[in-house]
Structure 1
Amino acid sequence: MGIQMDELDVLVGGGGYVGLSLAVALKQADPGLRVAVVDLRPREALEKDPRASAVAAAASRMLDRLGVWSQIAPHAQPMMEMIVTDSRLRDAVRPVFLTFDGEVEPGEPFAHMVPNGRMVAALADRAEELSVELIAPDAVSGFTSSSSDVEIRLASGGVRKAKLLVAADGVRSKLRDLAGIGTVRWEYDQSGIVTTVAHERPHEGRAEEHFLPSGPFAILPLTGNRSSLVWTERRDDAERLVKGDDFTFELELERRFGHHLGKLELAGPRHAFPLGLTLARSFVQPRLALAGDAAHGIHPIAGQGLNLGFKDVAALAEVLVEARRLGEDIGALDVLERYERWRRFDTFRMGVVTDVLNRLFSNDMDVVRAVRDVGLGLVDRMPSLKRFFIRQAAGLEGPSPRLLVGEAI
């Protein structure tokens, strides 16, 4: 490619659900914005992601407002109920300590399980419809900020200028590193095993979270007689299980899953991802903003990683669009700091909550187990507290950006 100096308003580094939804939100709210998304992976690779994610009610409202939920909904499984157990593998019975009804409003589930590939495909289609420039496969190899813009160098040799560069390139963000933004990070010596299973009997939309000594084992309903698993295991054991033979994996899976849904069969590849907590020391600097996992990576115990990213999208889009309407420079630090103030405490709080929950429930001490089981039982007997927790999980508690309540920016 030859050198290009095309002027953009926003260039987003990262073409996953965060990067694409931000581009769509900006372009839909202000068609005059010049927006591009660059990603190292071709679109076909992103759409083949076999994983599924829990999309909270607030996030599904945003996706509906962005014009993509109708494409996603036929492949989404509503969560109609959630149960929580706490036991050891050798226990003959897993007592249910906590149950949640799945609706936050009549007819509105607190979350849906959505295939990642379908979600990215819908967002990419909408981005193209709105004339967002999609650049792939390519990557940002470097950038230089000035008082008026940021010059962005692409790995392919192209050069673009923009008012703002957004890093949405994941928890190991190259753009964050290029900007010199440090992180607070620690490892859990755990990995999350992710796979899909088919089972003989229907799940009826019920999600299950089993707290086991090595970490939570989540069974999340998918369309048909299938479920997505997020299985937390000690890192060495997870690597052994993923690399081992199918018979051993299925045997260990059955010990944790149980027999309540009948015969089990693997219905997708299995992968293991190291788990840790990563919080960026700053979400912004002049001409740069971090969003999604580039700003924060948390433990999946509460299923909120994707939804935190969508909250970033809604907040950043609202800040940028309103600043532009006021004639402000969307890449100026004082504008970007509004976004950071909006999102930093929430992500820090969620990071602390997931860290404490993981340490509390990945613990086999008898005293700790007794205390947490009493706590779960008390919550189960307090309907108002349960409603508060389910609305928190749905992203509907407290003040929210407009997109997350289904309103236009």
Structure 2
Amino acid sequence: MERADVIILGGGLVGLTTAIALDRHGLSSIVVDPADPEKTLAPAFDGRATAVSSSSYRMLEAIGVAARLEGEGCPINGIRVSDGLEPGGIDFEPEEGDDPLGIMFENRRLRQALRETAAESARINLLMPASAAEVVRDANGVRVALADSRMLAAPLLIAAEGRNSPTREAAGIAMARWSYAHSAIVVTVDHEYHHENIAYEIFYPAGPFAILPMLPGTRSAIVWSVSSADAPAVADLPERALAAEIEKRMGGFLGKITIAGPRWSYPLGFHHAAGITGQRLALVGDAAHGIHPIAGQGLNLGFRDAAALVQVLVEGARLGLDLGDAQLLARYERWRSLDTFMVAAATDGLTRLYGIPGRTASAIRRFGMGLVQRVGPLRDQLMAEARGETGDMPLLLRGMPI
């Protein structure tokens, strides 16, 4: 029987971050993930890139991961939002000397940095590939039987298995769930002109079109939302045709476009758990909530889950409490419930609002964006939301140890 302070099912970005943050504060974990580590680090596994908010990056600095990402990310020094290519959008630009709005990283590089950091810890036991065959949660603790007959035990189980979390389903936690009938086409492109570290969110009735700055300065990640019916055809376009379609939607402001790598297609949907805890169980990341990528907050929500849960557990351990104690888990649920609900509701509302076709709807949206552009405090509040710097922030998101 292998024992630890927690068992984490899921060794993705949020699961590994949770394990490392616990390790930095003296708590041990066993991380179980069925994926082959070598395959998940291969460039062909995941073509996505993520805007890590400034608060999330402070946590990565605090737990010793950021040093491995030095020089790998592209700071986002501004975000320009528009309704199609019409005038009257919003420019989000931080004040001189402020943190950037986020830093763009390839998911593959984030995964590699987290994996390397976790592998060096004596308090993190990485079981990859491995899968849970049976899980028992009761008053005495958590026991997990792996498919290879190994047995694990801990006071608490953390589910970080992603959108289709089997642990969440087995726990009978109710879900609000729907599909947007859209898919995201993700591809990296090279362009003629420097992106100046600016991200663009261009809203079309068919779906948002995001241009995310990458290193070097003439490379960007494209996240293009298309209808599910059209996604296979778009994903299979020849390179020159795909580049021409992307260039047209960009309005040509970054010059000529060439495709710089493979393209991927991901279905878009929404899900939100009615609760994120159970008996000796806590959900984090996509196991608890999945949102539209319209505001680039999906992974950052998961990082905020990790920061809050780790603080609750570390402070509970210092008081000598059982880490699976219902009161500790209730504190975690209270801390995260409002933030996750508000972000989920906001992204869903934006998706539906900008999906309304017609010139009248476009004019109303542009009027609203012009109002935001003119009202400085409102624009500043939205920038703070993008940075993850609102509400009751866990210490790690402030860059402070617990």
Q: TM-score, structure 1 length as denominator?
A: 0.94
- Secondary structure of the residue aligned to 2:230 is helix
Which residue of structure 1 aligns with residue 135 of structure 2? 143
RMSD: 1.4
- Is the 2:189–2:222 Cα contact (8 Å) retained in structure 1? yes
Amino acid at match of 1:394: R
Per-residue Cα deviation, 1:2-33 (whole angstroms, up to 9, x for no partner) = xxx11221111111110000000001012xx2
Structure 1 residues 210-219 or 66-75, which shifts more?
Answer: 66-75
- Alignment equivalent of 1:110, drawn from 101, 112, 123: 101
- Alignment equivalent of 1:17, drawn from 13, 16, 21: 13
- Alignment equivalent of 2:282, drawn from 279, 289, 307: 289
Which residue of structure 2 aligns with residue 165 of structure 1? 157
Correspondence list, 1:78-227, <5 A:
78-87=75-84, 94-102=86-94, 106-131=97-122, 132-224=124-216, 225-227=218-220
- Alignment equivalent of 2:55, drawn from 54, 58, 66: 58
Per-residue Cα deviation, 1:85-126 (whole angstroms, up to 9, x for no partner) = 112xxxxx54251101145x7152110101111111111122
In structure 1, C-alpha distance between the alignment counterparts of 2:391 and 2:171, rounded to whole Å: 32
Give how far 1:149 is off.
0.9
Q: Tell me whether 1:28 sits opposite 2:24 in the alignment.
A: yes
Give how far 1:244 is off.
3.8
Per-residue Cα deviation, 1:374-397 (whole angstroms, up to 9, x for no partner) = 000011111221111101110112
Amino acid at match of 2:75: P
- Is the 2:74–2:104 Cα contact (8 Å) retained in structure 1? yes
Write out the 4+ residue segments of structure 1 that deviate beyond 6 Å after TM superposition: none
- Is the 1:242–1:270 Cα contact (8 Å) retained in structure 2? yes
Which residue of structure 2 aligns with residue 322 of structure 1? 315
In structure 2, C-alpha distance between the alignment counterparts of 1:64 and 1:260, rounded to whole Å: 35
Amino acid at match of 1:83: R
Give how far 1:336 is off.
0.8
In structure 2, C-alpha distance between the alignment counterparts of 1:141 and 1:178, rounded to whole Å: 12
Q: Percent identity?
A: 43
- Is the 2:22–2:28 Cα contact (8 Å) retained in structure 1? no
Q: Tell me whether 1:38 sits opposite 2:32 in the alignment.
A: yes
Q: Tell me whether 1:276 sits opposite 2:273 in the alignment.
A: no
In structure 2, C-alpha distance between the alignment counterparts of 1:102 and 1:46, rounded to whole Å: 35
Give how far 1:44 is off.
2.0
Give how far 1:177 is off.
1.4
Aligned residues: 397
- Alignment equivalent of 2:371, drawn from 369, 375, 378: 378
- Is the 2:206–2:226 Cα contact (8 Å) retained in structure 1? yes
Residue segments in structure 1 that go unaligned for 5+ positions in a row: 88-92
- Secondary structure of the residue aligned to 1:328 is coil
Change (3 A) 1:133 1:181: same
Per-residue Cα deviation, 1:268-317 (whole angstroms, up to 9, x for no partner) = 22111111110012101111110000000001111100100000000000
Amino acid at match of 2:17: S
- Is the 1:82–1:99 Cα contact (8 Å) retained in structure 2? yes
Residue segments in structure 2 that go unaligned for 5+ positions in a row: none
- Alignment equivalent of 1:349, drawn from 342, 360, 365: 342
Per-residue Cα deviation, 1:304-359 (whole angstroms, up to 9, x for no partner) = 00100000000000001111111111112221111011101111111110111000
- Secondary structure of the residue aligned to 1:196 is strand
In structure 1, C-alpha distance between the alignment counterparts of 2:88 and 2:64, rounded to whole Å: 39
In structure 2, C-alpha distance between the alignment counterparts of 1:34 and 1:84, rounded to whole Å: 43
Amino acid at match of 1:397: T
- Is the 2:88–2:367 Cα contact (8 Å) retained in structure 1? no
- Is the 2:73–2:105 Cα contact (8 Å) retained in structure 1? yes
Which residue of structure 2 aligns with residue 90 of structure 1? none
- Secondary structure of the residue aligned to 1:75 is coil
In structure 2, C-alpha distance between the alignment counterparts of 1:321 and 1:298, rounded to whole Å: 29
In structure 2, C-alpha distance between the alignment counterparts of 1:303 and 1:34, rounded to whole Å: 31
In structure 2, C-alpha distance between the alignment counterparts of 1:174 and 1:249, rounded to whole Å: 37
- Alignment equivalent of 1:313, drawn from 306, 312, 322: 306
Q: TM-score, structure 2 length as denominator?
A: 0.95
- Is the 1:82–1:102 Cα contact (8 Å) retained in structure 2? no
- Is the 1:83–1:96 Cα contact (8 Å) retained in structure 2? no
In structure 1, C-alpha distance between the alignment counterparts of 2:172 and 2:132, rounded to whole Å: 15
Amino acid at match of 1:321: V
